[in-house]
Amino acid sequence: MKTILVLILAFPSLVAAAGEDCPGVRSLAVEAACREACGTRLMYDMCMDALRDKFEPDPSRPVVVTAYAVLAAQRARSSYGATVDAASGLLRGSLGRDERAAYEACIEEYIYADLSMYRVANDMLPSCRFGGLVEEYMKGVTYMEGCRDRLMRLPASPLYAMNLVDRNKELLAYSLGQLLGI
């Protein structure tokens, strides 16, 4: 299982130019995309931070929405690695049975969430295959929430805050994906 996880998390992924020519996909400036995709100030701020890292926030420079969706999915994936590393480190220590079971289950759920976001960022979006995107995004959210539910049953897990950030990044990816009309 560790070998599969390392291969998944280590696989390089870049914002692909492919998918930018998808028929019917509109272009928006960074601020407009974040305003439209996000319903809360927290998500809007997260969106602006994520997109400004790669794209010029100039309102006169719209970018095809597919590129935003790819970047958000990739950022969600990259965040998973730190959480899995932290969980693996905790598993090397002295833990109670419930903690050990929760962290092992979380690692497995993170592997599945990563596979879903890999399909979104590296296959579905770049090839303009939007059918099934909602399901892939929701799989990722479900896996993050499954881990969260396990962590909430523990006295005080250091992974809880990391998982919350990961879940928010997953939701941001989904929200930007919705701009594609899925």
Question: Which residue carries 């295959």 as its tokens?
Answer: 129
- Please give the structure tokens belonging to residue 97: 């049975």
pLDDT band at 21 (very low <50, low <70, confident <90, very high): confident
Instruction: Look at residue 45 and tell me if it is in a domain.
Output: no
What is the domain range of residue 163? 70-178
Q: What is the pLDDT of residues 49-108, one digit of tens each?
A: 999 989 988 888 999 999 999 999 999 999 999 999 999 999 999 999 999 999 999 999
| pLDDT reported for residue 20 | 58
- Please give the structure tokens belonging to residue 127: 């090839």
| Model confidence, pTM | 0.86
Query: Distance between CA 173 and CA 47 in Å, rounded?
Result: 9
Instruction: Look at residue 123 and tell me if it is in a domain.
Output: yes
Instruction: Look at residue 130 and tell me if it is in a domain.
Output: yes
pLDDT of residue 130 exceeding 70, the answer is yes
Query: Distance between CA 56 and CA 64 in Å, rounded?
Result: 13
Instruction: Look at residue 150 and tell me if it is in a domain.
Output: yes
| Contacts within 8 Å (CB) and 24+ apart, 100-106 | 101/150, 102/150, 102/151, 102/153, 102/154, 102/157, 103/159, 105/146, 105/147, 105/150, 106/147, 106/150, 106/151, 106/159, 106/163
Instruction: Look at residue 12 and tell me if it is in a domain.
Output: no
CATH of the domain at 165: 1.20.140.40
Number of domains in the chain: 1
